[in-house]
Amino acid sequence: QVQLQLSGPGLVKPSQTLSLTCAISGDSVSTDISAWNWVRQSPSRGLEWLGRTYYMSKWYIDYGVSVKGRATIHPDTSKNQFSLQVNSVTPDDTAVYYCARWAHHPRYFDYWGQGRLIIVSS
Amino acid sequence: EIVMTQSPLSLTVTPGESASISCRSSQSLLFSNGSKCLNWYLQKPGQSPQLLIYLGSSRASGVPDRFSGSGSATDFTLKVSEVEAEDAGVYYCMQSLHTPLTFGGGTKVEIK
């Protein structure tokens, strides 16, 4: 059974960096049949895909439109986890953040972490 | 970016009746092999989304056969037959063809 455990500060000040980590159990971040994703949810923006990392002979990282240029996703094979950093946050980045596993075939999110509310406020 | 549009925004259903939710994509979701890259998720209050339907019409493991998905290249429907109280929540469609992956705005289903 795959489990995803999300951790990180729940409150971030505007202009600072949001940092989250998703620890994986029951699977490997280096598997070539899945990708490891970040998704967030807010009343104003709904469900929003932020990006993913996956290994297929080499590491790939993709970013969503709203955080491209501000975000960094990093796989950590030594700890079997992956992380998200978003720089220069604003109150618009306030949301519930999820990590989720994506199965390349047949192309769906099959496991989600529990979700963590991140508030951007001074 | 593929835009996903769901309707209605909300609906109230009596137990035992059926409910239908529509989802339209701004471009074709047909994969090169003919598969329809459209998934349906249900998010119950306080929970993460859970997969109901993938590839347009395939039920995920453990999903009751009351849930069915259908559609063409750009227009999709989720039908819930004989609705039960446990089916309450917000339903989302999501396109899985191209990144950025995108979701519909959600349909809130309430049970009378």
**β-sheet bridge partners, residue B40:** B53, B93
Q: What is the pLDDT of residue A42?
A: 97
CA pair distance B22, B94, nearest whole angstrom: 12
Report the pLDDT averaged over residues B64-71: 97
Report the pLDDT averaged over residues B1-28: 97
Q: What is the pLDDT of residue A85?
A: 98
Beta carbons of A47 and B94 less than 8 Å apart = yes
- At B87 the three-state DSSP class reads helix
Write out pLDDT tens, residues A106-117.
Answer: 899 999 999 999
Closest-CA residue to A47 (of A64, A60, A61): A64
Q: What is the pLDDT of residue B22?
A: 98
Write out pLDDT tens, residues A80-97.
Answer: 999 999 999 999 999 999
- A-facing residues of B in 26-85 (CB < 8 A) are 35, 37, 39, 41, 48-51, 54-55, 58, 60
Distance from CA of A54 to the nearest CA of B (A): 14
Beta carbons of B102 and A49 less than 8 Å apart = yes
Write out pLDDT tens, residues A17-76.
Answer: 999 999 999 999 999 999 999 999 999 999 999 999 999 999 999 999 999 899 999 999
A-chain residue closest to B37, CA distance = A107
Beta carbons of B49 and A64 less than 8 Å apart = no
Q: What is the pLDDT of residue B99?
A: 93
Nearest-by-Cβ selection for A110 from B51, B94, B101: B51
Give chain B's mean pLDDT. 97
Nearest-by-Cβ selection for A49 from B50, B54, B101: B101
Question: Which tokens is B108 given?
Answer: 């809130």
Q: How many helices (H) and strands (E) does chain A have?
A: 0, 11
Please give the angle made by the CA atoms of B45, B53 and A109, to the nearest 5 degrees.
Answer: 70
Q: What is the pLDDT of residue B98?
A: 94
